[in-house]
Structure 1
């Protein structure tokens, strides 16, 4: 598993990749990804799976130009009708996304840009489980040129590739004085969460800091109107926050607290 500083690097360079080379994921890379999935599934009580060479799943999106050469995906499978499991799925699947980023692979969370019924045919969904979402994975278009870019160039591409909510929007429940007085670990956590993907690109999560007990809290922003994927997005954002903040741990759930250690 990647070290903490490498995960920070992955957050700083990860972008939503929609265009892929048609070069397949080779067996050795697939084996390494599947080995990384084993502890993630165990920790999260999930059943995330790597599925390769199924372009039919993305036929419509590829044909329209929304995606290019999408054919491989992570099937995010977990317990059915379980909001906490959906949050864990976001947290741990994004951990896998960052691992893939460090291996030079491109990724994209998908909720609507795939044929979910077709995707379900190529993964294992047992009784009591459901397929939540998917993550496209593969070699970015012109991936050799991509791999030749410097870390600074990749960071700039991340910074400019899409609009993001502001720090003030991510801490909407806090006063200006509260934001200013918050510790550096909280500010770093929010800044990392600002770089997190979300299933519908709505970033429906806010964070707050409580100086009375030195904790942070994460909340679903109901105004974002993303009731279908909000818990998944909360898990993704919590992971980014945790990596950015450094040592510490979240409690699951809307309003769950982060204890900085």
Structure 2
């Protein structure tokens, strides 16, 4: 997938809670599974596509928190492996953006599902756990959604939720340092501002280090919820897409070096 396509996906991706009651077609499901297989091989992850299991989301569907949720990408990772949780966020969000470009809606969920029921439909090896899942499917009224122009989808993404400001995302930098930072850093932060996060907490901040010409990603120490490392991985991916070619080191305080 070309870099410009990933930027397009970031610009139109939103959290989708309502889905059409229609199965994902066989060809799209096969392509998604192939994407996950490729990512798993590359990254050493164990993501799995599970289809047509509405019982996993029965309570959320009944309450109206979700509508017609039935399919999910399962993030199966090693128990208590902090780096694996970050990598899961990074690489599963890569799959999410691929699904977005195919006209599918997605939603990261931490609590609106039956974890035990979901695990029954996964391949979980010894020493692994079902960590999180991403709901996936056709957005409600998806034919109308797919008929919208790119500009319309971008505008909806821009206005559909509140977001922290650029200054808040670079809270450890002064105005002078922000102005002096290279364009790639600014583009990376602006792309990370569009990343999903648990409860829309947006717990990641970025700093430009002029001495090493690198970026540093840090978690807000005040945010202690379970999914912070997952959110760190997602934010790092978005930053990397915006900044262009480069590579992160893992962990809180990891560095991005542009290549």
TM-score normalised by L of structure 1:
0.98
Indicate the residue corresponding to 2:229 in structure 1.
Answer: 231
2:122 partner SS: coil
In 1: Cα distance, 2:42 partner to 2:115 partner: 25
The residue correspondences of 1:1-261 to structure 2 (distance < 5 A) are 2-226=1-225, 228-261=226-259
In 1: Cα distance, 2:129 partner to 2:175 partner: 42
In 2: Cα distance, 1:191 partner to 1:100 partner: 22
Superposed displacement of residue 213, structure 1: 1.2
In 1: Cα distance, 2:164 partner to 2:58 partner: 31
Superposed displacement of residue 200, structure 1: 2.9
1:258 partner SS: strand
In 1: Cα distance, 2:47 partner to 2:132 partner: 10
Matched-pair contact (CA < 8 Å) for 1:44–1:89? no
2:200 partner SS: coil
Matched-pair contact (CA < 8 Å) for 1:111–1:200? no
| 1:86-124 deviation digits (Å, cap 9, x = unpaired) | 111000000000000000000000001111111111111
2:107 partner SS: strand
Superposed displacement of residue 225, structure 1: 3.1
In 2: Cα distance, 1:12 partner to 1:207 partner: 20
In 1: Cα distance, 2:42 partner to 2:228 partner: 21
Superposed displacement of residue 172, structure 1: 0.8
Superposed displacement of residue 130, structure 1: 1.0
In 1: Cα distance, 2:186 partner to 2:36 partner: 30
Gaps of 5+ in 1: none
Matched-pair contact (CA < 8 Å) for 1:46–1:79? no
In 1: Cα distance, 2:182 partner to 2:2 partner: 24
Structure 1 segments, 4+ long, off by >4 Å, are: none
